[in-house]
């Protein structure tokens, strides 16, 4: 099947086999929370694996060989298989293949589980090294939520409220690669006022987060609580052209630094999985 819909009674979520992509999160069957992949950006919530961001020249270098690897990796463009489907949850899996070996020379398994409970959706990403050698990789989520949260609401009235004070400098990218310099945080204590101008220089990247949760909110609108485990960095992204979505992106990893052109396993930000090791990452969306 191409897609399935799971439900908790008060929330429903639709997931596609293509990319194991969440393409709908409905509140009581009335309010859609996920961006519906319009002309401004043709995706909903892609999974970023085995890289987050870009590699220099879109090439992965490993043990004297080079492999073409597009931005954010290949998982978002491949069809997953259904491992389990229940009324309130489903699991999809992606395994290495000839197609992935041409880009990424490591045996792996990626399992993604979507589970609804009352007013919350939890998504768990299990990354397993199926080979005999250490496997370098990154994993990230890229869900796009409607902005504004309700039709007709003022976009500039929306905020991100972090659970902790976020005083550390942020990072930016240029041509998809991580700039060397850092920038003062736009967060005012715990509050980040949202505006389209925030994204004139592409994503806002929090490399050193104190928080493990935030609230995406607007006056008079039911907000979204967003929390994560295992991920280290966070990206916020939209287009500074009036695009009606906001991406809240927990990551383990980030784009290659602009000056880095070395071996992939030396790339900053990666995790390194031992043979047979599985690591789990998760995030939860709770609708207020």
pLDDT per residue as tens digits for the range 120-147? 999 999 999 999 999 999 999 999 999 9
**Rounded to a whole number, what is the largest CA-CA distance in the chain?**
57
Nearest to 237 by CA among 205, 283, 279: 205
Percent of the chain clearing pLDDT 90 (strictly above): 94
- pTM equals 0.97
Domains and CATH numbers, the chain: 3-287 (2.70.98.10)
Q: How many CB atoms lie within 10 A of CB 199?
A: 19
Give backbone dihedrals phi and psi of 104, rounded to 5 degrees, phi first. Answer: -150, 105
Q: Measure the CA–CA gap between 104 and 176, rounded to whole angstroms.
A: 20
Identify the pLDDT of residue 254.
Answer: 98
The per-residue pLDDT for 46 is 98
Q: Which residues of the chain are modeled with pLDDT < 50?
A: none
pLDDT computed for residue 30 by the predictor: 84
Q: Assess contact for 286 and 225: CB atoms under 8 A.
A: yes
Other CB atoms within a 10 A radius of the CB of residue 13 amount to 25
Q: Report pLDDT for 178.
A: 97
pLDDT of residue 221: 80
HSE-up of residue 248 (Cα within 13 Å, Cβ side): 25
Check: CB of residue 280 under 8 Å from CB of residue 126. Answer: yes
- Give the C-alpha separation, 238 to 215, whole Å: 17
Distance CA 143, CA 248 (A): 6
Look up residue 242 and give its two tokens: 């009036």
* pLDDT on residue 28: 85
Q: What are phi and psi of 215, to 5 degrees?
A: -125, 130
Q: Which residues are CB-neighbours of 39 under 8 A, at least 6 positions away?
A: none
């Amino acid at each position: 099947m191409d897609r399935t819909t799971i439900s908790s009674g008060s929330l429903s979520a639709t997931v596609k086999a293509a990319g194991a992509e969440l393409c709908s999160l409905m509140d009581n069957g009335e309010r859609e929370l996920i961006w519906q992949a319009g002309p401004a950006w043709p995706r909903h919530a892609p999974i970023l694996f085995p890289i987050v961001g870009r590699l220099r020249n879109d090439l992965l270098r490993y043990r004297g060989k080079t492999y073409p690897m597009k931005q954010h990796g290949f998982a978002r463009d491949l069809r997953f298989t259904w491992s389990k489907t229940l009324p309130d949850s489903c699991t999809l899996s992606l395994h290495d293949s000839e197609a992935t070996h041409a880009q990424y020379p490591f045996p792996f398994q990626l399992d993604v589980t979507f589970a609804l409970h009352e007013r919350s959706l939890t998504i768990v990403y299990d990354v397993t090294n199926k080979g005999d050698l250490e496997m370098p990789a990154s994993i990230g989520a890229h869900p796009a939520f409607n902005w504004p949260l309700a039709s007709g609401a003022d976009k500039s009235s929306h905020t991100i409220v972090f659970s902790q004070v976020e005083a550390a400098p942020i990072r930016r990218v240029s041509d998809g690669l991580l700039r060397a310099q850092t920038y003062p945080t736009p967060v005012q204590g715990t509050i980040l006022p949202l505006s389209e101008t925030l994204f004139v220089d592409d994503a806002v990247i929090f490399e050193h987060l104190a928080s493990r949760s935030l609230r995406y909110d607007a006056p008079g609108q039911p907000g979204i609580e967003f929390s994560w485990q295992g991920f280290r960095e966070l990206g916020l992204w939209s287009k500074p052209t009036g695009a009606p979505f906001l991406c809240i992106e927990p990551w383990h990893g980030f784009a290659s630094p602009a000056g880095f052109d070395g071996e992939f396993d030396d790339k900053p930000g990666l995790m390194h999985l031992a043979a047979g090791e599985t690591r789990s990452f998760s995030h939860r969306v709770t609708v207020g």
